[in-house]
Amino acid sequence: MLNKKSIILVIIPMILFLGAGCSRYKPRPIDISKGEYYEDEEYKKLSKNDREEYCRTLAVELESLQGRSEKAQEELTAKKERIHTLTKDLRDAEKVYANLSAHIDEFTKQIQELEMLPRVWKLQFGECLWIVAGYEEVFGDPLKWPRLWRGNRQMIEDPDWVLAGWELKVPRNWPKKHLVIEDEWLAKIAGYWEIYDDYRKWTVLFEGNKDRINDPDLIFPDQELVVPR
């Protein structure tokens, strides 16, 4: 039989073993990807295996964060470059806008001035088409008298013969059509100031009227031509 001393020697190690097993630390579950970590005191209580596993998980998470950081940095650099480009484009656009605004203001002023110009002129004694065309409020250029004649053909048969009291229309628009008269050809018509002011642009007239002109050297009086703009 075992004596009392022997029993004590057997029981004490068992108690120590059972006590150690019952008091083993169980770490709380965490999710490092969500920013959950062990406190210092908790880490100290981890077993060797748990610590190693914890450190491996931290290393993986660190590598993932570094990768995301590098990608974010690349995106940031690209966006900064894009912002720089857009800023430059915006400044260029502002310059263009300012320039166009100045042109629009100038054109608006010109339109307002044109709207104030006479559209009808009553001939006074001693006036002829040459004199009237030279008036600043008419065309400001006596050489443009044919425009007055062509705009008033129904009234004026001979441009050298006009009478005081006649009310002449002062054409201000760019005609979209032209009625051919005798002794006119495409180059001559294209050279008219109100058409293209350039006889070499007769081809534009021809191309725009191919449905009514078979031969560019052959057009007829009273033939209505389209004036492409």
Question: SS3 sequence, the chain?
Answer: CCCHHHHHHHHHHHHHHHHHHHCCCCCCCCCHHHCCCCCHHHHHHCCHHHHHHHHHHHHHHHHHHHHHHHHHHHHHHHHHHHHHHHHHHHHHHHHHHHHHHHHHHHHHHHHHHHHHCCCEEECCCCCCHHHHHHCCCCCCCHHHHHHHHHHCCCCCCCCCCCCCCCEEECCCCCCCEEECCCCCCHHHHHCCCCCCCCHHHHHHHHHHCCCCCCCCCCCCCCCEEECCC
CATH number of 118-172: 3.10.350.10
pLDDT range class, residue 79, cuts 50, 70, 90: very high
Token couple for 84: 């720089």
More confident residue, 168 or 11: 168
pLDDT at 23: 46
Are 191 and 173 in contact, with CB atoms under 8 Å apart?
no
Classified by CATH at the fold level, domain 173-229 comes out as Membrane-bound Lytic Murein Transglycosylase D; Chain A (3.10.350)
pLDDT at 25: 77
Query: How confident is the prediction for the chain on average, in pLDDT?
Result: 88
Q: Quick one: average pLDDT of 51-80?
A: 91
φ, ψ for residue 24 (rounded to 5)? -60, 130
Percentage of residues in the chain with pLDDT exceeding 70? Answer: 90
pLDDT at 3: 52
Q: Quick one: average pLDDT of 84-88?
A: 93
Percentage of residues in the chain with pLDDT exceeding 90? Answer: 69
Name the region of 66 (left: φ>0; alpha: ψ -120 to 50; beta: rest).
alpha
pLDDT at 225: 97
Asked whether the CA dihedral 125, 128, 133, 138 is positive or negative, the reply is positive
Q: Quick one: average pLDDT of 100-121?
A: 88
- CA dist 194 and 81 (Å) reads 51
Between 47-51, 201-205, 216-220, the lowest mean confidence (pLDDT) is in: 47-51
For the cut 50, the answer to whether the pLDDT of residue 163 exceeds it is: yes
φ, ψ for residue 110 (rounded to 5)? -65, -40
- Report which listed range, 3-17, 21-35, 71-85, 102-116, is most confident: 71-85
